[in-house]
Chain A
Amino acid sequence: MSDPIQRAREGDPDAFRVLYEEHVGRIYALCLRLARDAAHAEELVQDTFVKAWEKLPGFRGESAFGTWLFRIAVNVTLAERRATGRRESRVGLTAEPEALPAAHRTPDPGAQLDMEQAIAGLPPHARAVFLLYDVEGYQHAEIAQMTGIAEGTSKAQLFRARRLLREALNR
Protein backbone atom coordinates (compact mmCIF):
# COMPACT_ATOMS: atom_id res chain seq x y z
CA MET A 1 0.00 0.00 0.00
CA SER A 2 1.60 3.26 -1.11
CA ASP A 3 2.38 5.98 1.36
CA PRO A 4 -0.31 8.59 0.49
CA ILE A 5 -2.97 5.91 0.82
CA GLN A 6 -1.68 4.83 4.21
CA ARG A 7 -1.43 8.41 5.44
CA ALA A 8 -4.88 9.24 4.11
CA ARG A 9 -6.26 6.17 5.86
CA GLU A 10 -4.86 7.61 9.07
CA GLY A 11 -6.83 10.81 8.48
CA ASP A 12 -4.27 13.03 6.73
CA PRO A 13 -6.22 15.33 4.33
CA ASP A 14 -3.02 16.47 2.57
CA ALA A 15 -2.28 12.88 1.62
CA PHE A 16 -5.86 12.52 0.46
CA ARG A 17 -5.40 15.55 -1.75
CA VAL A 18 -2.48 13.80 -3.45
CA LEU A 19 -4.83 10.93 -4.24
CA TYR A 20 -7.46 13.38 -5.46
CA GLU A 21 -4.99 15.02 -7.86
CA GLU A 22 -3.93 11.64 -9.17
CA HIS A 23 -7.40 10.27 -9.82
CA VAL A 24 -9.78 13.19 -10.34
CA GLY A 25 -9.40 13.14 -14.14
CA ARG A 26 -10.65 9.61 -14.55
CA ILE A 27 -13.43 10.05 -12.04
CA TYR A 28 -14.59 13.27 -13.68
CA ALA A 29 -14.51 11.69 -17.14
CA LEU A 30 -16.70 8.85 -15.93
CA CYS A 31 -19.11 11.13 -14.07
CA LEU A 32 -19.31 13.54 -17.00
CA ARG A 33 -20.23 10.75 -19.39
CA LEU A 34 -22.68 9.15 -17.01
CA ALA A 35 -24.36 12.41 -16.00
CA ARG A 36 -24.06 14.20 -19.37
CA ASP A 37 -23.92 17.50 -17.52
CA ALA A 38 -20.75 19.24 -16.35
CA ALA A 39 -22.22 20.84 -13.20
CA HIS A 40 -23.85 17.58 -12.16
CA ALA A 41 -20.61 15.72 -12.88
CA GLU A 42 -18.75 18.07 -10.53
CA GLU A 43 -21.24 17.29 -7.76
CA LEU A 44 -20.79 13.57 -8.35
CA VAL A 45 -17.00 13.89 -8.24
CA GLN A 46 -17.19 15.72 -4.92
CA ASP A 47 -19.59 13.13 -3.52
CA THR A 48 -17.28 10.36 -4.70
CA PHE A 49 -14.23 11.77 -2.93
CA VAL A 50 -16.12 12.57 0.26
CA LYS A 51 -17.51 9.03 0.28
CA ALA A 52 -14.03 7.66 -0.40
CA TRP A 53 -12.65 9.61 2.56
CA GLU A 54 -15.31 8.09 4.80
CA LYS A 55 -14.68 4.59 3.51
CA LEU A 56 -10.90 4.85 3.31
CA PRO A 57 -10.17 3.21 6.67
CA GLY A 58 -11.85 0.10 5.28
CA PHE A 59 -9.72 0.05 2.12
CA ARG A 60 -7.53 -3.02 2.47
CA GLY A 61 -5.58 -2.79 -0.77
CA GLU A 62 -7.25 -5.88 -2.20
CA SER A 63 -7.78 -3.99 -5.43
CA ALA A 64 -5.96 -1.03 -6.93
CA PHE A 65 -6.92 2.21 -5.28
CA GLY A 66 -8.14 3.57 -8.65
CA THR A 67 -10.46 0.60 -9.14
CA TRP A 68 -11.79 0.97 -5.61
CA LEU A 69 -12.41 4.66 -6.20
CA PHE A 70 -14.04 3.96 -9.55
CA ARG A 71 -16.44 1.59 -7.90
CA ILE A 72 -17.42 4.29 -5.42
CA ALA A 73 -18.01 6.73 -8.30
CA VAL A 74 -20.27 4.25 -10.07
CA ASN A 75 -22.16 3.55 -6.86
CA VAL A 76 -22.52 7.25 -6.07
CA THR A 77 -23.84 7.97 -9.55
CA LEU A 78 -26.27 5.08 -9.66
CA ALA A 79 -27.44 5.61 -6.08
CA GLU A 80 -28.03 9.29 -6.72
CA ARG A 81 -30.07 8.45 -9.78
CA ARG A 82 -32.12 5.91 -7.86
CA ALA A 83 -32.62 8.19 -4.85
CA THR A 84 -33.67 11.29 -6.70
CA GLY A 85 -35.14 9.77 -9.82
CA ARG A 86 -33.21 12.58 -11.38
CA ARG A 87 -34.07 13.14 -14.99
CA GLU A 88 -30.93 13.37 -16.99
CA SER A 89 -30.15 16.69 -18.50
CA ARG A 90 -31.28 17.11 -22.03
CA VAL A 91 -28.08 19.04 -22.55
CA GLY A 92 -25.68 16.62 -24.16
CA LEU A 93 -21.95 16.86 -24.31
CA THR A 94 -22.02 18.45 -27.73
CA ALA A 95 -23.81 21.41 -26.18
CA GLU A 96 -20.87 21.80 -23.79
CA PRO A 97 -17.77 21.29 -25.92
CA GLU A 98 -15.82 23.43 -23.47
CA ALA A 99 -16.22 20.60 -20.96
CA LEU A 100 -13.87 18.56 -23.12
CA PRO A 101 -10.14 19.15 -22.87
CA ALA A 102 -8.11 20.42 -25.77
CA ALA A 103 -6.40 17.05 -26.18
CA HIS A 104 -9.82 15.59 -26.65
CA ARG A 105 -10.39 17.67 -29.73
CA THR A 106 -7.57 16.00 -31.65
CA PRO A 107 -6.83 14.30 -33.98
CA ASP A 108 -10.38 13.92 -35.26
CA PRO A 109 -12.60 16.15 -33.18
CA GLY A 110 -15.67 15.48 -35.29
CA ALA A 111 -15.47 11.73 -34.87
CA GLN A 112 -14.81 11.96 -31.14
CA LEU A 113 -17.63 14.38 -30.52
CA ASP A 114 -19.92 12.18 -32.61
CA MET A 115 -18.93 9.28 -30.41
CA GLU A 116 -19.43 11.26 -27.21
CA GLN A 117 -22.84 12.39 -28.42
CA ALA A 118 -23.78 8.86 -29.40
CA ILE A 119 -22.74 7.57 -25.96
CA ALA A 120 -24.71 10.36 -24.30
CA GLY A 121 -27.76 9.24 -26.25
CA LEU A 122 -27.64 5.69 -24.86
CA PRO A 123 -30.11 4.56 -22.20
CA PRO A 124 -28.49 4.96 -18.75
CA HIS A 125 -27.71 1.32 -18.00
CA ALA A 126 -26.44 0.55 -21.49
CA ARG A 127 -24.30 3.68 -21.30
CA ALA A 128 -22.82 2.72 -17.95
CA VAL A 129 -21.96 -0.80 -19.08
CA PHE A 130 -20.48 0.42 -22.38
CA LEU A 131 -18.31 2.98 -20.61
CA LEU A 132 -17.09 0.48 -18.05
CA TYR A 133 -16.42 -2.32 -20.55
CA ASP A 134 -15.33 -0.69 -23.80
CA VAL A 135 -13.84 2.56 -22.54
CA GLU A 136 -12.51 1.57 -19.12
CA GLY A 137 -11.74 -2.06 -19.81
CA TYR A 138 -13.51 -3.74 -16.90
CA GLN A 139 -14.82 -7.29 -17.23
CA HIS A 140 -18.50 -8.21 -16.93
CA ALA A 141 -17.98 -9.80 -13.53
CA GLU A 142 -16.43 -6.58 -12.23
CA ILE A 143 -19.17 -4.46 -13.79
CA ALA A 144 -21.80 -6.69 -12.22
CA GLN A 145 -20.16 -6.16 -8.85
CA MET A 146 -19.87 -2.41 -9.34
CA THR A 147 -23.38 -1.79 -10.56
CA GLY A 148 -25.32 -4.48 -8.75
CA ILE A 149 -26.63 -6.10 -11.93
CA ALA A 150 -26.22 -9.70 -13.00
CA GLU A 151 -23.29 -10.58 -15.23
CA GLY A 152 -25.71 -11.73 -17.94
CA THR A 153 -27.49 -8.38 -17.74
CA SER A 154 -24.18 -6.62 -18.20
CA LYS A 155 -23.52 -8.63 -21.36
CA ALA A 156 -27.02 -7.91 -22.66
CA GLN A 157 -26.61 -4.18 -22.00
CA LEU A 158 -23.29 -4.17 -23.81
CA PHE A 159 -24.84 -5.94 -26.78
CA ARG A 160 -27.59 -3.31 -26.85
CA ALA A 161 -25.23 -0.37 -26.38
CA ARG A 162 -22.86 -1.39 -29.17
CA ARG A 163 -25.68 -1.80 -31.64
CA LEU A 164 -27.32 1.46 -30.71
CA LEU A 165 -23.98 3.20 -31.13
CA ARG A 166 -23.44 1.58 -34.52
CA GLU A 167 -26.83 2.83 -35.64
CA ALA A 168 -26.23 6.31 -34.26
CA LEU A 169 -22.82 6.62 -35.89
CA ASN A 170 -23.93 5.32 -39.28
CA ARG A 171 -27.06 7.36 -39.81
Chain B
Amino acid sequence: MTCAEFDQLLDRYLDESLDATRRAELDSHLRGCESCRILTAQMREVLASAATLPRSIRPPRDLWPDIAERLASRATQPPVRSIPWRRWAPLVAAAVLLIAVTAIVTVRLSRREPPVAVTAPREQPHIEGFAADREYVLAAEDLERVLTEGRGRLAPATVAVLERNLALIDAAIVEARAALEADPANADLRALLWGAHRQKLDLLDRATRLTRS
Protein backbone atom coordinates (compact mmCIF):
# COMPACT_ATOMS: atom_id res chain seq x y z
CA MET B 1 0.00 0.00 0.00
CA THR B 2 1.31 3.44 -0.95
CA CYS B 3 1.01 6.53 1.26
CA ALA B 4 -1.46 8.04 -1.24
CA GLU B 5 -3.65 4.94 -0.99
CA PHE B 6 -3.39 5.11 2.78
CA ASP B 7 -4.45 8.76 2.76
CA GLN B 8 -7.46 7.95 0.58
CA LEU B 9 -8.67 5.40 3.12
CA LEU B 10 -7.66 7.31 6.24
CA ASP B 11 -11.06 8.94 6.80
CA ARG B 12 -12.81 5.60 6.80
CA TYR B 13 -10.05 4.20 9.01
CA LEU B 14 -10.61 6.97 11.53
CA ASP B 15 -14.38 6.57 11.28
CA GLU B 16 -13.95 2.83 11.82
CA SER B 17 -16.01 2.05 8.78
CA LEU B 18 -13.45 -0.20 7.06
CA ASP B 19 -13.80 -3.94 6.99
CA ALA B 20 -11.31 -5.97 9.03
CA THR B 21 -9.13 -6.90 6.06
CA ARG B 22 -8.72 -3.33 4.88
CA ARG B 23 -8.11 -2.15 8.40
CA ALA B 24 -5.34 -4.70 8.84
CA GLU B 25 -3.71 -3.46 5.63
CA LEU B 26 -3.69 0.10 6.95
CA ASP B 27 -2.37 -1.04 10.34
CA SER B 28 0.41 -2.84 8.56
CA HIS B 29 1.26 0.24 6.52
CA LEU B 30 1.25 2.40 9.63
CA ARG B 31 3.78 0.17 11.38
CA GLY B 32 6.31 0.81 8.65
CA CYS B 33 5.57 4.43 7.69
CA GLU B 34 6.41 7.26 10.05
CA SER B 35 4.92 10.04 7.90
CA CYS B 36 1.56 8.25 7.80
CA ARG B 37 1.74 7.72 11.57
CA ILE B 38 2.23 11.47 12.00
CA LEU B 39 -0.61 12.16 9.56
CA THR B 40 -2.90 9.79 11.43
CA ALA B 41 -2.02 11.27 14.81
CA GLN B 42 -2.66 14.80 13.56
CA MET B 43 -5.96 13.79 12.07
CA ARG B 44 -6.96 12.20 15.34
CA GLU B 45 -6.12 15.50 17.05
CA VAL B 46 -8.39 17.35 14.62
CA LEU B 47 -11.26 15.01 15.40
CA ALA B 48 -10.62 15.10 19.14
CA SER B 49 -10.52 18.88 19.03
CA ALA B 50 -13.79 18.98 17.06
CA ALA B 51 -15.35 16.74 19.67
CA THR B 52 -14.53 19.25 22.43
CA LEU B 53 -16.32 22.12 20.71
CA PRO B 54 -19.58 23.10 22.38
CA ARG B 55 -22.57 22.05 20.33
CA SER B 56 -24.68 24.68 22.01
CA ILE B 57 -23.85 28.38 22.36
CA ARG B 58 -26.36 30.74 23.89
CA PRO B 59 -26.85 33.90 21.78
CA PRO B 60 -25.47 37.02 23.48
CA ARG B 61 -28.97 38.52 23.60
CA ASP B 62 -32.49 37.15 23.79
CA LEU B 63 -33.71 36.75 20.20
CA TRP B 64 -37.22 35.70 21.17
CA PRO B 65 -38.79 39.22 21.25
CA ASP B 66 -37.79 39.81 17.63
CA ILE B 67 -39.02 36.37 16.63
CA ALA B 68 -42.29 36.84 18.51
CA GLU B 69 -42.84 40.13 16.73
CA ARG B 70 -42.35 38.46 13.37
CA LEU B 71 -44.72 35.65 14.34
CA ALA B 72 -47.31 38.19 15.45
CA SER B 73 -47.13 39.91 12.08
CA ARG B 74 -48.15 36.56 10.61
CA ALA B 75 -51.05 36.24 13.01
CA THR B 76 -53.55 36.74 10.24
CA GLN B 77 -51.98 33.80 8.46
CA PRO B 78 -51.98 30.99 11.02
CA PRO B 79 -49.89 27.99 10.17
CA VAL B 80 -51.55 25.82 7.60
CA ARG B 81 -50.63 22.21 7.36
CA SER B 82 -48.45 21.95 4.30
CA ILE B 83 -48.26 18.47 2.91
CA PRO B 84 -46.76 17.53 -0.45
CA TRP B 85 -49.38 17.31 -3.15
CA ARG B 86 -48.89 13.62 -3.77
CA ARG B 87 -49.70 12.94 -0.10
CA TRP B 88 -52.73 15.13 0.34
CA ALA B 89 -54.35 14.75 -3.05
CA PRO B 90 -55.74 11.28 -2.26
CA LEU B 91 -57.01 12.55 1.09
CA VAL B 92 -58.75 15.48 -0.58
CA ALA B 93 -60.16 13.21 -3.22
CA ALA B 94 -61.45 10.85 -0.56
CA ALA B 95 -62.94 13.72 1.42
CA VAL B 96 -64.56 15.15 -1.67
CA LEU B 97 -65.98 11.81 -2.65
CA LEU B 98 -67.36 11.45 0.85
CA ILE B 99 -69.01 14.86 0.60
CA ALA B 100 -70.39 14.13 -2.83
CA VAL B 101 -71.73 10.73 -1.89
CA THR B 102 -73.16 12.01 1.36
CA ALA B 103 -74.79 14.91 -0.44
CA ILE B 104 -76.35 12.67 -3.03
CA VAL B 105 -77.62 10.24 -0.43
CA THR B 106 -78.96 13.07 1.71
CA VAL B 107 -80.64 14.75 -1.22
CA ARG B 108 -82.30 11.51 -2.22
CA LEU B 109 -83.45 10.85 1.31
CA SER B 110 -84.73 14.38 1.72
CA ARG B 111 -86.71 14.09 -1.50
CA ARG B 112 -88.62 11.15 -0.04
CA GLU B 113 -89.81 13.29 2.82
CA PRO B 114 -92.48 15.96 2.50
CA PRO B 115 -90.90 19.40 2.33
CA VAL B 116 -90.74 21.08 5.70
CA ALA B 117 -91.20 24.50 4.23
CA VAL B 118 -92.37 25.88 0.95
CA THR B 119 -89.48 26.84 -1.28
CA ALA B 120 -88.83 30.49 -0.74
CA PRO B 121 -87.18 32.99 -3.03
CA ARG B 122 -83.47 33.40 -2.38
CA GLU B 123 -83.89 37.03 -1.44
CA GLN B 124 -86.06 36.31 1.58
CA PRO B 125 -84.06 37.03 4.74
CA HIS B 126 -85.13 33.93 6.67
CA ILE B 127 -83.09 31.80 4.34
CA GLU B 128 -79.94 32.88 6.11
CA GLY B 129 -77.64 30.55 4.25
CA PHE B 130 -77.77 32.09 0.81
CA ALA B 131 -75.81 35.22 1.70
CA ALA B 132 -73.08 33.04 3.15
CA ASP B 133 -73.26 30.83 0.08
CA ARG B 134 -72.58 33.86 -2.05
CA GLU B 135 -69.65 34.90 0.17
CA TYR B 136 -68.12 31.47 -0.26
CA VAL B 137 -68.55 31.70 -4.00
CA LEU B 138 -66.90 35.13 -4.14
CA ALA B 139 -64.01 33.94 -1.97
CA ALA B 140 -63.53 30.92 -4.19
CA GLU B 141 -63.58 33.14 -7.27
CA ASP B 142 -60.82 35.30 -5.78
CA LEU B 143 -58.65 32.27 -5.17
CA GLU B 144 -59.45 30.87 -8.60
CA ARG B 145 -58.20 34.09 -10.18
CA VAL B 146 -54.92 33.81 -8.28
CA LEU B 147 -54.66 30.16 -9.20
CA THR B 148 -55.28 30.87 -12.87
CA GLU B 149 -52.36 33.32 -12.87
CA GLY B 150 -50.02 30.77 -11.31
CA ARG B 151 -51.34 27.64 -12.96
CA GLY B 152 -48.45 27.57 -15.46
CA ARG B 153 -46.07 26.89 -12.58
CA LEU B 154 -47.81 23.62 -11.68
CA ALA B 155 -46.97 20.29 -13.27
CA PRO B 156 -49.62 19.05 -15.74
CA ALA B 157 -50.31 16.01 -13.53
CA THR B 158 -50.93 18.32 -10.57
CA VAL B 159 -53.29 20.48 -12.61
CA ALA B 160 -55.18 17.37 -13.73
CA VAL B 161 -55.65 16.14 -10.14
CA LEU B 162 -56.62 19.63 -9.04
CA GLU B 163 -59.24 20.01 -11.77
CA ARG B 164 -60.67 16.58 -11.11
CA ASN B 165 -61.07 17.35 -7.41
CA LEU B 166 -62.50 20.80 -8.03
CA ALA B 167 -65.06 19.28 -10.39
CA LEU B 168 -66.07 16.79 -7.69
CA ILE B 169 -66.43 19.53 -5.10
CA ASP B 170 -68.38 21.73 -7.48
CA ALA B 171 -70.74 18.85 -8.17
CA ALA B 172 -71.21 18.37 -4.42
CA ILE B 173 -71.90 22.09 -3.99
CA VAL B 174 -74.46 22.12 -6.78
CA GLU B 175 -76.23 19.08 -5.38
CA ALA B 176 -76.24 20.39 -1.82
CA ARG B 177 -77.38 23.85 -2.90
CA ALA B 178 -80.23 22.43 -4.97
CA ALA B 179 -81.31 20.26 -2.07
CA LEU B 180 -81.15 23.20 0.32
CA GLU B 181 -83.25 25.30 -2.01
CA ALA B 182 -85.85 22.54 -1.90
CA ASP B 183 -85.57 22.19 1.87
CA PRO B 184 -84.20 25.49 3.30
CA ALA B 185 -84.75 24.51 6.93
CA ASN B 186 -82.64 21.38 6.65
CA ALA B 187 -79.60 22.06 8.85
CA ASP B 188 -77.81 18.94 7.69
CA LEU B 189 -77.98 20.06 4.09
CA ARG B 190 -76.70 23.48 5.07
CA ALA B 191 -73.77 21.86 6.93
CA LEU B 192 -73.04 19.76 3.87
CA LEU B 193 -73.05 22.81 1.64
CA TRP B 194 -70.74 24.77 3.94
CA GLY B 195 -68.47 21.75 4.29
CA ALA B 196 -68.17 21.47 0.52
CA HIS B 197 -67.47 25.19 0.25
CA ARG B 198 -64.77 24.96 2.88
CA GLN B 199 -63.23 21.99 1.09
CA LYS B 200 -63.12 23.99 -2.10
CA LEU B 201 -61.55 27.02 -0.43
CA ASP B 202 -59.02 24.81 1.32
CA LEU B 203 -58.12 23.05 -1.91
CA LEU B 204 -57.80 26.35 -3.79
CA ASP B 205 -55.76 27.85 -0.98
CA ARG B 206 -53.35 24.94 -1.00
CA ALA B 207 -53.11 24.98 -4.77
CA THR B 208 -52.31 28.70 -4.85
CA ARG B 209 -49.63 28.09 -2.22
CA LEU B 210 -48.16 25.42 -4.47
CA THR B 211 -47.92 27.91 -7.32
CA ARG B 212 -45.87 30.18 -5.06
CA SER B 213 -43.60 27.48 -3.61
- In this complex, how many residues of chain B approach chain A with their Cβ under 8 Å: the count is 35
Contact: B82 with A99, CB < 8 Å? no
B57 at the interface (CB under 8 A from A): yes
Q: Which residues of A contact B60 (CB under 8 A)?
A: 38, 98-99
**A28 partner, pick from B43, B45, B52, B59, beta carbons under 8 A:** B59
A100 at the interface (CB under 8 A from B): yes
- In this complex, how many residues of chain A approach chain B with their Cβ under 8 Å: the count is 49
Q: Which residues of A contact B54 (CB under 8 A)?
A: 29, 101, 103-104
Q: Which residues of B contact A61 (CB under 8 A)?
A: none
Contact: B78 with A29, CB < 8 Å? no
Selected interface stretch from A47-55, A77-85, A145-153: A47-55
Interface residues of A in 98-147 (CB under 8 A from B): 98-101, 103-104, 108, 111-112, 115-116, 130, 134-136
**A24 partner, pick from B51, B55, B58, beta carbons under 8 A:** B58
Contact: A17 with B68, CB < 8 Å? yes
Q: Which residues of A contact B52 (CB under 8 A)?
A: 108, 111-112, 115
Query: DSSP class of A's interface residues: helix, strand, loop or mixed?
Result: helix
Q: Which residues of A contact B134 (CB under 8 A)?
A: none
Interface residues of B in 60-81 (CB under 8 A from A): 60-61, 63-64, 66-68, 70-72, 74, 78-81
Contact: A25 with B58, CB < 8 Å? yes
Q: Which residues of B contact A130 (CB under 8 A)?
A: 50
Contact: A57 with B46, CB < 8 Å? no
**A135 partner, pick from B50, B70, B74, B78, beta carbons under 8 A:** B50
Measured CB to CB, the closest approach of chain B to A11, in angstroms, equals 5
User: Across chains A and B, which 4 residue pairs bring their CB atoms closest together, nearest first?
Assistant: A25-B56, A57-B81, A29-B57, A134-B50
Binding site for B on A (CB under 8 A): 9, 11, 13, 16-17, 20-21, 24-26, 28-29, 32, 38, 41-42, 45-46, 49-50, 53-58, 98-101, 103-104, 108, 111-112, 115-116, 130, 134-136, 155, 158-159, 162, 165-166, 169-170
